Amino acid sequence: MTERDVFEYALLRVVPRVQRGEFFNAGVVVYCHARGFVAARIHLDETKLKALDPSADVVGVRAALHAVEGVCRGGTDAGQAARDDAGRRFRWLIAPRSTVVQPSPVHSGLTTDPEAEVERLLDLLVR
């Protein structure tokens, strides 16, 4: 039997008008401590975005989502978080915020392949 590791994940929600509280899922962030793994994948449905806010800044929202992917990758794309380990980067990304891109509450599970888990969750909960 293949060993399974605990992982945590949060959805990335797009909240075009924060004061209204309406949102839709546009990505997922997955963290697995045992493997030092953190990754994000996004899928921005521009039709949903425009339905909730016809004047939404699509380019800005897309940039904010891609910034999350950059922080997960680390290196120069992570900015100040470049020196942080995967766990600190995940905790920073899932901190509550009142912006257009917000994290959901954190959930957990077991996996044998965190990379595959990112894609599975994106397909299941976002696409």
Tell me, what's the pLDDT at 1?
A: 60
Q: Kindly report the backbone phi and psi dihedral angles of residue 105, in degrees, each rounded to the nearest multiple of 5, phi listed first.
A: -60, 160
Per DSSP, the chain holds a count of helices (H) and strands (E) of 4, 5
Question: In angstroms, what CA-CA distances link 106 with 43, 51, 114, 119?
Answer: 19, 27, 15, 17
Question: How does pLDDT run across 75-106, given as a tens digit for each residue?
Answer: 776 777 777 889 999 999 999 887 899 999 99
| Predicted model pTM | 0.92
pLDDT of 74 reads: 82
Mean pLDDT of the chain: 93
The arithmetic mean of pLDDT across residues 2-14, rounded, is 95
pLDDT value of residue 80: 78
